[in-house]
Structures are given as structure tokens and as C-alpha cells.
Amino acid sequence: MSASITAPARSAGRLVFAAFVLLALLVWPLLVENVFYQRVGALVMLAALSASAWNLVGGYAGQISIGHVLFFGCGAYASLLGFTWFEWPPIMGAPFGIALSLLLAVLVGLPTLRLKGHYFSMATIALAELARIIVVNSPSLGGGVGISGPAIPRSMADLSFISPLPYYYIFGAVLAVLLLFTWWMGRARMGFYLRAIRGQERAARSLGVPAQRYKLYALLVSAGFTSLAGSLYAAMVGFVDPDSGLGILLSVKMVIVSALGGAGTLFGPLVGAAILVPLEEFTNAAFGGDGTGITYVVYGAIIMLISRYAPGGLAEILARLKAWGARHAR
């Protein structure tokens, strides 16, 4: 690279690169015959979707929620309850899950978004745990046993496919919509406000940023998409119980995926998911059968190493590489 590259050329290069990545994302599952890899691909998209949704609140606005599973659970349960009660195709429950999530986001957001730092995180954990315990104790919601979707697919609308490919593209499409919104938001006023709030909330307020209101907006969008992710998950797996739909580990996973890739960046959660999910699945495939727990020793150690050498997530490494490249270009 030489310093003579002009700005338009650089942005054209970027476009070509982006188009290439997009094409690769669209085409690779068709080239891979291995169904297990295709399924891992679908799970990457799903994890990227829920982490990107979390990223709006946790990354851009800097409000570390560890209770986002609340919204995920709304979506998952709405899907399968729609089937259990009315024999709907699971995905028909999604709008209801989203509506419930938005309502909860307002109810939950108004009191908790006042809280600072760790207090906010702990309040979100408490709310999600409350929801989990209430579901466990409600036989009409499946209680501790959980609820399942259609055992045998009745029509296409049940979204019950033998191949993981349709899931990959459905999850990917929703993710694309979310990323487009995030990209737009990053350049719109809302993005500036959220970043200001993340940096110095008190200063932002004194400059007239309506902090509460914009944090709530971010939470609403985030809750809606997280809920949709939950509905899609439920349609694919066909079963949800309090642990898999409302367990605290799911909230933590959203945080981990975003933090690993780079919270508050557009593609951070996708990058995080693209690394973490295959890592999880492949360590499990390689070592899980031993029963020695080595799966998690390897998985945990890699997470630890990444946080040790790139505390800002992989986005930080990219930025460092870029800076290094720029220095050497001159």
C-alpha cells in the first residue's frame, strides 16, 4: 500500500471488500455439504442476531444488561405457547412475543435505566431471574417441564426443516435488517447521543441530551429484535424450558459474544459469534465425548487469552493492525 491512495479509491476498496464478504456469507453454506457445519453456521447467525440486538443497549449506549434473556424468552415462549394453545405455526407467535417484549422493555426500562453501572446490571439479572422463577412455577406456561412445538411439521409455515440452510438464511436476513438499522443509527442523531451517554452520561445530560429517552429507545429496538431471535430459536429447536429460554447463561452469552468481537461496533457481535460459536461446537465435537470437561477448559482458556491480549475485543486488534499498517505505509 502506498500513501497515494485517494479517499474515493479507499472507499471503493471498502465496498468491494464488503461485497466480497457478503457474497461469501451467502454462498459458503451451499458449497459445504456437511450438514453439521451448516447448522453451526445457522447458530452463528442466531448468536450474532441476539448479540447485535444486545449491542444497541450494552455496546452503543454502554448500559450492560445481563438480563436480555428476558426478551429472548418472551419470543421463544410466545412462539411455542401459540402452538400449544391455538396450534399456530410457531412463528405466528413472534409478533406477540415482540409486543410483550416492548411492553416489558418500557416497564423494566423506566425504573432500571436510572441505575448506574453495576446496579443496572444486577437489576436486569434480578428481573430475568424473576421471570424464570415465575415461569417455573406456572404450570400453564409449561412450568419446569417446558413446552414443545409441533412434533411433526404440518406445513412450510412451521419452519421445521431437515436442512439447516433455510434457518441460516432466515436468521441471516433478520440480522441484515438489524445491522442496517444499527448502521443507520450510528450515523443518525441517536447514535451520537448514545455514544455521548456511554462516554459521560452526566456531561451528555448537561449538554441537553435527553439521556433517559434515548436509552429507552435503544432498549425498545434491542428488546424487539432479541425477542424475534427467541422466536426463531424456538421454531428451529421446537422446545423451550426455563433454562434454555430464560437461563442467565444466555444473557451472559450475549454479553460475551459482543465483548469478544467488540461491543459498540457494527460488526463486533457478528465477528464474536463467528469465532465463539464454532469454537464452542468444535471443541465439544472434538473433546465433549471424553467426559473430562476439557471442552470447557479449552473454550474458557481461549476466551481468557483473548480478553488478556485484546481487552477491547477483536475490534481492538483490527484497529491496532490498521494503525500499524498506516504507520508502515508512510
Partner 1 sequence: MILGQVVLNGFLVGAVYALFSSGLTLIWGMMNVVNFAHGDFVMIAMYVAFVVFTALHLGPAVFVPLAAVLLFLLGVLVYFSLVRHVMRGPMLAQILGTFGLALVLRYATLWVFSANFVSLPDNLLGPVVTVAGLRLEPSRVVAGLAALTLTIGLHLLLTRTALGSRLLAVAEDRNAAMLVGIRPDPMQALAWGIGAACTGVAGALIALFFYISPTVGESLALIAFVVVCLGGFGSVPGALVAGLLIGVIESLSAFWIGPANKDVVVFILFLAVLWFRPQGLLGKA
Partner 2 sequence: MTIGRRPLLAAPALLLAGRAFAQGAAQGTPIKVGSLMPLTGVAASAGNSAKAALELAVELINTPQPDLAAMPLMATAGFPAIGGRPLQLVMADQQGNPSVAQNQALRLITQERVVALTGAYQSGLTLTASAIAERHGIPFVNGESVATNLTERGFQWFFRTTPIGPDIAAIYMEFLQQVRVGGRPVAKIAIVNENTEYGTSIADVIRRTAEGRGVSIALQIPYAANSADVSAQVLQLKEAQPDVVIFISYTSDAILYARTMRAQGYRPPVLIGDNSGFSDDSFVQSAGDIAQGLINRSAFDASRPGSNAFKINALYKTRTGREMDDTTARIMQGFLVACDAINRAGSTQPAAIQAALRATDLKPEQLIMGYRGVKFDAKGQNINASVLLVQLRGRDYVSVYPADTATAQLELPYKGWE
Give the residues lining the site for partner 1 (CB under 8 A). Answer: 58, 64, 111-112, 114-119, 122-123, 125-127, 129-130, 133-134, 136-137, 248, 252, 255-256, 258-260, 263, 291-297, 299-313, 316
Nearby residues of 72 by Cβ (< 8 Å), 6 or more positions away: 50, 226, 227, 229, 230, 233, 245, 246, 250
Separation between Cα atoms, residue 61 and residue 221, nearest integer Å: 12
How many beta carbons lie within 10 A of that of residue 24, not counting itself?
Answer: 10
Least distance (Å) from partner 1 to the CB of residue 75? 22
Q: Nearer Cβ to partner 2, position 240 or 266?
A: 240
Separation between Cα atoms, residue 102 and residue 115, nearest integer Å: 20
DSSP conformational letter for 60: I
Least distance (Å) from partner 1 to the CB of residue 121? 8
The site partner of 116 among partner 1, partner 2, none (C-beta below 5 to 8 Å per kind) is partner 1
Q: Phi then psi for 164, rounded to 5 degrees?
A: -75, -10
Q: Nearer Cβ to partner 2, position 11 or 138?
A: 138
Q: Nearer Cβ to partner 1, position 117 or 210?
A: 117
Instruction: Look at the alpha carbons of 275, 161, 243, 101 in this order and tell me if their dihedral is positive or negative.
Output: positive
Q: Nearer Cβ to partner 2, position 121 or 244?
A: 244
Nearby residues of 137 by Cβ (< 8 Å), 6 or more positions away: 143
The site partner of 86 among partner 1, partner 2, none (C-beta below 5 to 8 Å per kind) is none
Q: Is 239 helix (H, G, I), strand (E, B) or coil?
A: strand
The site partner of 145 among partner 1, partner 2, none (C-beta below 5 to 8 Å per kind) is partner 2
Residue with cell 434491542: 222
Least distance (Å) from partner 2 to the CB of residue 141? 12
List interacting residues with partner 2 (CB under 8 A).
34-36, 39-40, 43, 133, 136-137, 139, 143-146, 148, 151-152, 162, 164, 233, 236-244, 281, 284-285, 288-291, 293, 295-296
Q: Nearer Cβ to partner 1, position 147 or 254?
A: 254
The site partner of 8 among partner 1, partner 2, none (C-beta below 5 to 8 Å per kind) is none
The site partner of 242 among partner 1, partner 2, none (C-beta below 5 to 8 Å per kind) is partner 2
Distances (CA, A) of 317 to 195, 268, 309, 310, 321: 21, 12, 9, 6, 6
Least distance (Å) from partner 1 to the CB of residue 108? 10
Least distance (Å) from partner 2 to the CB of residue 15? 36
Q: Which of 172, 180, 232, 236 is nearest to 25 (CA)?
A: 172
Least distance (Å) from partner 2 to the CB of residue 151? 4
Q: Nearer Cβ to partner 1, position 32 or 298?
A: 298
Q: Nearer Cβ to partner 1, position 116 or 322?
A: 116
Separation between Cα atoms, residue 174 and residue 61, nearest integer Å: 22
- 98 contacts 224 by C-beta, under 8 angstroms: yes
